[in-house]
Amino acid sequence: MEGTGDLLNKKRKLENSDEIVDKCPPVLKNFKDFNINKVIAENPRCKTATIHGQIAGEDAVVLLEKTAFDASHLGNYLSELTTLNNTLKNDIYGTYDAFPPLIENAIRATVIHPATEKHIKKYTDQPCYVVHETPELYTNITLPLIISKQFSIQWVYNILGKKKEADRIVFEDPDPEQGFVLLPDMKWDCKDTRSLYLVAIVHKHEVKSLRDLTADSLPLLNNILHKGLDAIKERFGVPSSQVHVYLHYQPSYYHLHVHFAHVQCEAPGMGADRAHMLIDVIDNIQIASNFYQRKTLTFTVREEDDLYKKYKDSGYFDKS
């Protein structure tokens, strides 16, 4: 059986491998070759729909999202370029279906192709369950799963190795111990700073999540907090008082990363069952170096998550 060291060596080799990057499918020009299989998630409030289908016989997941209004373009909407179909008129009140010019009508599409079974599950709406993870449960259930997990984080290595998204990097500290790369999260279209959402990915490989952080991590965490906020202020003009800086537990990828989101942005995973403010994390570790090795951490799992299945098989949910 492979140990953690072997797995890390394998990951390092992947980071330096051009072969895998070149296997990326080509950029799409349209959805002509996308065959719809099923709508796997819908959120009317966020105005998103997620569709599972196939492209060239391979599974694909497409996330469609209506984009926010760009205030500087409102003149284009409110002009003769927008066709109006009246749907209601009562005294001074009127409603219309409005068809603005094509250029203002773009929706954002995120395409994952080829998508694995795990991607399809991850993006599918499903029931959720709460886990209170004690240190013992972490050691006996969560950690073995993380170590055996084959979920590819090639995209992380592509970013750290400057093979992908290099032109999007907002800031980098190249130090192998305390350094990180800060860049816009895939979910942010970089148009409106009120929905600012960036991610800092650490250069160091060994830190999987919040659970691994100790007093030794403080220089790294302080570095990310201060240099990340400075870079955001300089590039986007958003002061640190308007940025939430936090880690997810559980994260979706076990290579330490920190989220930076505008306070007005309803970023996913901001709930008390997932977001841990970096400033609080630093403070907790300063109080006790082994705080995150001792703490019971609460999170939500979804029915199709491997973690849910592991906890279910252990009988954890039988008690609730």
Residues marked as binding?
155, 165, 185, 187, 248-259
Q: Of 155, 291, 316, 317, which lies in the binding site for ligand G7M, with binding defined by CB under 6 A?
A: 155
Q: Of 199, 207, 265, 281, which lies in the binding site for ligand G7M, with binding defined by CB under 6 A?
A: 199
Annotated binding site for substrate: 155, 165, 185, 187, 248-259
CA distance 246 to 259: 5
Nearer to ligand G7M, 89 or 245 (CB): 245
Nearer to ligand G7M, 73 or 191 (CB): 191
Yes or no: say if 244 and 225 are a contact pair by the CB < 8 Å rule: no
CA distance 186 to 155: 11
Nearer to ligand G7M, 249 or 311 (CB): 249
Stretch in the footprint of ligand G7M (CB under 6 A) among 93-101, 184-192, 222-230, 300-308: 184-192
Yes or no: say if 293 and 109 are a contact pair by the CB < 8 Å rule: no
Least CB distance to ligand G7M at residue 81 (A)? 33
Asked if residue 114 binds ligand G7M (CB under 6 A), the reply is: no
**The residue count for the chain:** 320
Tell me which residues in 232-291 interact with ligand G7M (CB under 6 A): 248, 251-253, 269
Asked if residue 170 binds ligand G7M (CB under 6 A), the reply is: no
CA distance 281 to 250: 15
Asked if residue 100 binds ligand G7M (CB under 6 A), the reply is: no
Q: Of 185, 189, 212, 273, which lies in the binding site for ligand G7M, with binding defined by CB under 6 A?
A: 185
Least CB distance to ligand G7M at residue 319 (A)? 28
Yes or no: say if 269 and 294 are a contact pair by the CB < 8 Å rule: no
CA distance 177 to 140: 29
Q: Is 244 a catalytic residue?
A: no
Yes or no: say if 108 and 67 are a contact pair by the CB < 8 Å rule: yes
Asked if residue 186 binds ligand G7M (CB under 6 A), the reply is: yes
Site residue total, ligand G7M (CB under 6 A): 12
Yes or no: say if 284 and 292 are a contact pair by the CB < 8 Å rule: yes
Q: Are strands 93-99 and 48-55 parallel, antiparallel or unpaired?
A: unpaired
Q: Of 108, 121, 187, 233, which lies in the binding site for ligand G7M, with binding defined by CB under 6 A?
A: 187
CA distance 29 to 213: 43
Asked if residue 215 binds ligand G7M (CB under 6 A), the reply is: no
> Of the candidates 194, 212, 196, which has an alpha carbon nearest to the alpha carbon of residue 204?
212
Nearer to ligand G7M, 253 or 291 (CB): 253
Looking at 119, 244, 257, 276, which residue is catalytic? 257
Both tokens assigned to 80: 């003769």
Least CB distance to ligand G7M at residue 51 (A)? 18
Give start and end residues of each alpha helix (H) in the chain: 4-15, 18-22, 74-77, 117-122, 135-137, 143-148, 154-160, 218-236, 278-287, 291-294, 306-313
CA distance 184 to 201: 11
Stretch in the footprint of ligand G7M (CB under 6 A) among 45-53, 182-190, 280-288, 291-299: 182-190
Residues near ligand G7M, by CB under 6 A:
155, 165, 183, 185-187, 199, 248, 251-253, 269
Indicate which residues carry an active-site annotation: 257
